C-alpha cells in the first residue's frame, strides 16, 4: 500500500493506493484542520508514504506530527526531478518546479501519451504542456513548461482588496458549479468579477491548446483537475473541450506513480 498526501494552498487531500493502483481510502480537510485529520482508517497501514507539500514549513511540521499518530514516521517529501516515469522535466531548474505541478503532469502523461494540456484548478491555477519527445519514441514525453494564474476566488479577492468600489469576495462570489457559458455581458458587478476571472482562466487554457495545435497539427488532449475544473470547462470553446477529461485527485495519482517508480528502483538496486 502506498499512502499519498497532497498539501495544497488551502486544503490537504490524501489517498491510500493498493498494489494495483486503485484508491482504497481517501479524504481531505482544510489545512487549518490537519492536526485532527484521520489519515488512515482503523486496520489500514501503508508500506510507504509520499507527500507533495506547497503549504509551507509550518504545515509540513503539523502534517508530520499528525502522521506519527498513525505510525508513519519517515514519509518521503517529494520534489520535482529532471526525469521520472517516462517524462522529462524541461524547466530551466527542474528541482524548482512545484511538486504539485510535477505530480500532475506525471499522472497526465501516464493517462495520455500524446500532446496534452494539464490544468489543476485550485487556489491557484496551473496550465502545463506535455507531449512526446519524438515521433520515434511516443512512450517518452517532455514537460515543456506552463502558466500559473490566480484561481477564481483569488482573482476576485484581489479585486475586492485592491479597489475601492468593487465588492469583497463574499459579496462577489457566485455559485461556481452552476456557472453558465456566454456571460460576457455581465449586468451586475458581482457577475462581472466572477465571469471576468472565469473567462481569463478559460482563455489561458484555450491559448495553450491552440499553441499545441499549431505545433503538432492536432488538437491536444486536456486533462483537468481541482475544485473549479468543471466551471472552467463549461466556459471553454468546443474545439478545446471535445478532447477534455476531468480527473479527480490528479496530484495524488502522480504521487503514487512517483513512489512506485522509486520502490522499483530500490528493488533493482538491492538485486
Catalytic residue IDs:
100
Q: To which H or E segment does residue 265 belong?
A: helix 250-270
Name the pairing type of β-strands 76-77 and 116-121: unpaired
Q: In what order do the strands lie in the sheet containing 48-53?
A: 23-30, 11-17, 2-7, 48-53, 76-77
**Distance of alpha carbon 209 from alpha carbon 239, whole angstroms:** 9
- Pairing type for strands 137-150 and 87-89 reads parallel
Cell output for 227: 475544485
Which residues touch 73 (CB under 8 Å, ≥6 apart)? 67
Angle of helix 189-216 relative to helix 152-162, nearest 10 degrees, comes to 130
Q: Where are the alpha helices (DSSP H) in 117-227?
A: 152-162, 169-172, 189-216
Query: Do 221 and 198 touch, CB atoms closer than 8 A?
Result: no
DSSP lists the bridge partners of residue 225 as: 120
The answer for residues whose C-beta is within 8 angstroms of residue 174's C-beta and 6 or more apart is: 190, 191, 194
> Cell numbers at residue 44, please?
489500514
Rg over CA atoms, the chain:
19
**Cell numbers linked to 213:** 495545435
Amino acid at each position: 500500500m502506498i499512502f499519498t498526501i497532497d498539501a495544497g494552498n488551502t486544503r490537504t487531500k490524501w489517498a491510500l493506493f493498493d498494489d494495483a493502483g486503485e484508491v482504497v481510502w481517501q479524504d481531505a480537510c482544510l489545512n487549518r484542520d490537519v492536526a485532527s485529520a484521520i489519515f488512515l482508517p482503523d486496520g489500514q497501514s501503508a508500506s510507504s508514504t509520499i507527500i507533495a507539500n506547497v503549504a509551507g514549513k509550518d504545515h509540513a511540521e503539523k502534517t508530520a506530527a499528525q502522521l506519527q499518530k498513525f505510525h508513519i514516521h519517515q514519509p518521503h517529501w517529494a520534489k520535482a526531478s529532471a526525469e521520472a516515469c517516462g517524462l522529462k522535466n524541461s524547466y530551466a531548474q527542474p528541482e524548482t518546479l512545484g511538486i504539485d505541478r510535477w505530480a500532475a503532469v506525471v499522472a497526465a502523461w501516464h493517462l495520455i501519451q500524446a500532446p496534452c494540456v494539464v490544468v489543476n484548478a485550485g487556489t491557484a491555477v496551473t496550465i502545463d504542456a506535455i507531449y512526446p519527445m519524438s515521433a520515434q519514441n511516443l512512450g517518452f514525453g517532455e514537460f515543456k513548461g506552463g502558466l500559473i494564474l490566480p484561481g477564481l476566488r483569488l482573482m476576485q479577492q484581489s479585486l475586492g482588496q485592491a479597489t475601492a468600489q468593487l465588492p469583497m469576495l463574499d459579496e462577489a462570489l457566485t455559485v461556481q458549479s452552476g456557472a453558465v457559458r456566454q456571460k460576457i455581458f455581465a449586468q451586475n458587478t458581482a457577475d462581472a468579477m466572477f465571469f471576468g476571472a472565469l473567462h481569463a482562466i478559460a482563455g489561458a487554457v484555450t491559448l495553450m491548446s491552440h499553441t499545441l495545435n499549431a505545433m503538432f497539427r492536432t488538437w491536444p488532449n486536456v486533462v483537468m483537475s481541482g475544485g473549479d475544473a468543471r466551471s472552467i470547462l463549461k466556459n471553454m470553446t468546443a474545439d478545446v473541450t471535445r478532447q477534455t477529461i476531468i480527473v479527480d485527485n490528479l496530484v495524488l495519482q502522480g504521487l503514487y506513480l512517483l513512489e512506485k517508480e522509486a520502490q522499483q528502483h530500490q528493488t533493482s538496486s538491492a538485486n
